[in-house]
Amino acid sequence: MGGPGLLADAVVPISYAVKGTALAADLWRYKSWRTPSASARAAVLALLLTFLRDHGPCVWRHAGMTAPGRLAVVPTGCGRPGPHPLLDLTSPYLRLPLTRLAMWPGRQGRDLDIQRFRAERSVARADVLLIDDSWVSGASAQSAAAALKLAGARRVAIVVLGRHLDPADPRAGQLVARLRPGPYDPSRCAVHPQLD
């Protein structure tokens, strides 16, 4: 199911998470069911908080909002019990009122589905920061944005920790080949123009 008017007002990836790199590993290890990695949790938290401090205002402007008034996290697609690890990790620092999203039973999938999630009505007329740890197709994050808008959110800005790329995937090969090798540069923002 599609819903163009219900999509996020801005989608901003912080970095690429190329399979085999430290960021891709951290995005897996920080929420491991059996043994979450303390170092991966610290790295993921630092990446998000640094980005929001330095570039949050760019994201808000791009989404047409002054600043977010609520926080939501894209639910995990595998039915993990309890709060999402990203929410657990970030909520002490972001200090925004939380709007919870839950998946409707039987609505898992890889396509955009505006009925996949349900959002609390606490989001009515609010501008929402929706965070996601990794973006593969974007279907889950955009489905979550649609749920927020159906519940009354005014604007939704998605911030993604890592845009997943697999060099072995023919669809990603050309992009991976064009990426400049090097460490993550926190001064670079996906929203405002870059001066080289």
Write out pLDDT tens, residues 47-96. 999 999 999 999 999 999 999 999 999 987 665 666 788 988 998 899 89
Q: Answer yes or no: is pLDDT of 176 > 50.
A: yes
C-alpha pair distances (Å), 179 with each of 16, 107, 139, 145: 9, 35, 24, 28
Higher pLDDT, 176 or 148: 148
Q: 46, 95 in Cβ contact below 8 A?
A: no
SS3 content of the chain, % helix, strand, coil (to 5): 35, 20, 45
Q: 14, 161 in Cβ contact below 8 A?
A: yes
The pLDDT tens digits for 125-151 are 999 999 999 888 888 999 999 999 999
Q: Maximum distance among all alpha carbons in the chain?
A: 48
Per-residue pLDDT at 179: 73
For the chain, the average pLDDT equals 85
Q: What is the pTM of this model?
A: 0.88
Region 4-178: CATH code: 3.40.50
- Looking up tokens 């023919």 gives 170
Q: 71, 129 in Cβ contact below 8 A?
A: yes
> What's the mean pLDDT in 185-191?
75
Per-residue pLDDT at 121: 82
Cα distance between residue 89 and residue 143, in whole Å: 23
